[in-house]
Structure 1
Amino acid sequence: MESPFPLLKLPAVVLRLVAACLGTKEKIYFSLCSKNSADHIRRLNIKVERFLCAIGSEISVSLGFDDLQSISLIFLPVDQPVNLYPIPVPLPLAFRFSTGVRQSEETKETHSFQNMPSLKDFLGHLSTIFHCKNVAILPLHGSEQYTLDTLKESFEGCGVTELVMTTYYGNKPHFINILKTFLPVRILSLDNNPFESNWQFRKSVLKYEFDVLQLWAKTLDVYELLFDMDIKQIDILPTQVLSHKLNFFIRMWVEGETNVNLESLVFQFREIDLSDYYQETILNGIDNQVVTEEEEYKPICISIPWGLVDSVIEMYDIRRKTDGRRATIKFDRFSKAIRFKLIVWKSENKIGSVQH
């Protein structure tokens, strides 16, 4: 029976007005009706900077809209046992739309279309209608159910720029294979648990090029690894034990002998573990000038050390001898942690923000 109100038969000018008034969930419903309706949503010029795709037995796409936080693609029946062998990523059975950041405020609605798009088609569709060129992948427990080649194929064409490997659930071969499948990417966030030595980490990770490495370094000698990281932004996120090796690294940077492309470096230390002379230990023998005016700096990727600061303790300017490049060493505090930050400026003006 024909619909009493055939929306898609309205004049184009009216459809544009209707599309603009829809909520995010309804915009997605509407965009899946036809190429024409998808184009109406695309022309609204709604821009999403980044999608986060969490891969488990379901795949959840976090959107970050006020009225729609995420869309989960349900692939397998809830009562179906976990497969003994990986299977190709099947067509989704349904979408589950979730609103509310907090679980107590969350509402969920499950919907199935007559012709469900594949994961690849749906991700490409979202990227197109919301003008998103950055997709982050977060593999979770359950992702091992699917073959890696079909997972990779599903994300082709939607701009995977970030891999978040911060949840390690004991499956080392799968973890390593995920890295092999999706690297290189622009931004890598990584738990070092699967790697037992610096040599393994170099072989598996540092052979690739990144703009950003956010490393949960718990067992590796990260001071030694720094010299192998020709990376713009390096965030060492767990608290470390202060070593004279950090002073040696800064000396080598000043001489122009290492990390010439570095734009920022972060270390964190527990304040209770530091002596009263920790700044002198780090700056020993390095020409510096005390800075009193803080300059604005925006890193490529904002991690917790960049986003949360209680107070700035002290700042010092240093210069690289080979080209006169200026850098600021900043010590700041958040909660019970002291952070060391090295910021390399691209210009001598006082704006300070690095342009990427």
Structure 2
Amino acid sequence: MNNNKRVGIRDVAKAANVSITTISKALNDYPDVSPKTRKKVKALAKKMGYVPNSYARYMGGIRKKTVALMMSDFKKEDPSGFVFGVLSGLYASCTQNDHSFILLATSLNKQKESSIIEVCRQNNVDALVTMGFRVDDLYVKQMKEIDIPVTMIDMEIEGVKANSIYIDNSLAAYDVVKYLISKGRKNIAMINGSKNAYVSVERYSGYAKALLDAGFSLNKNYIKYCNFDESIAYQNTKDLINDNPEIDAIFCASDLMAIGTCKAINDLGFKVGSDILVFGFDDIPVSQCLFNGISTVKQNPYDMGFEAGKSVNKQLLEPDAKKERIVVPHSLIFRCTA
């Protein structure tokens, strides 16, 4: 072989007359490639002088690919269990594919200190999974320039070549409001999360569409943003009902906020589930117990994390694969509050 030219995986695939995916799987001992093919590919790669790019980083030593979960505004507590569910699923998927896994926490201030590309290079990240970003975050804008595989959980940004893993937040919210309307409710308010959070925008979109499709008008006074916080939701619900006593149902964009909303309704002397219906989102464990059970949208964070791991693994094996949108199913759980 010509020693002046670096032999790439495409060269080996062309010489073997098989796909790049097959070459990569054979070199990494994937069980779905036969031992005979693995042996043949490894012998050919050695003969051609193929050296994986990962060698260069560790002075010629083999290392696993590193998948990073990058989270914005990471909090010590995870009362909803969503983050832990995603972490568990992603870790299981990475382990199954023999990848290393690291967690990178960032914030608005940290995003000003180092670019997302610099952070990934400093941590030898081969593939990135993102979660918890706002649509106007600096790192989201920089993702257009990133040169490694990216999969985004609960977000899709135009112009970014990244796969997306999410439940259809807009449809889920639409389903909730449609159900509340079917129960005869005509003055449906919304306790939403953060104004610029992607999931908040999507859930509001579904809420608004359901009302408009049913012939109702939108009332901006019926919307409160509570940053996914129980105590803020409690106070804002009190204000909402005091200012708009006709409200007969409230859709909350998280179960934590639904708990605050239910407490506020009780403290105002109304009965949750009859005077005012309440529907949450997430199906956190405690939602089954409080107020005889909070009606909610069940999403599957473990499945989202696992699918994200599968997504970046495919991106690593097939760098030229088309952008994918992977929807994880949701379901409505009906309990006593609605």
TM-score by length of 2: 0.30
Identify which of structures 1 and 2 has the higher relative contact order when contacts are C-alpha pairs closer than 8 Å and 6+ apart.
2
Point out the structure with the larger helix share: 2
Point out the structure with the larger strand share: 1
TM-score by length of 1: 0.29
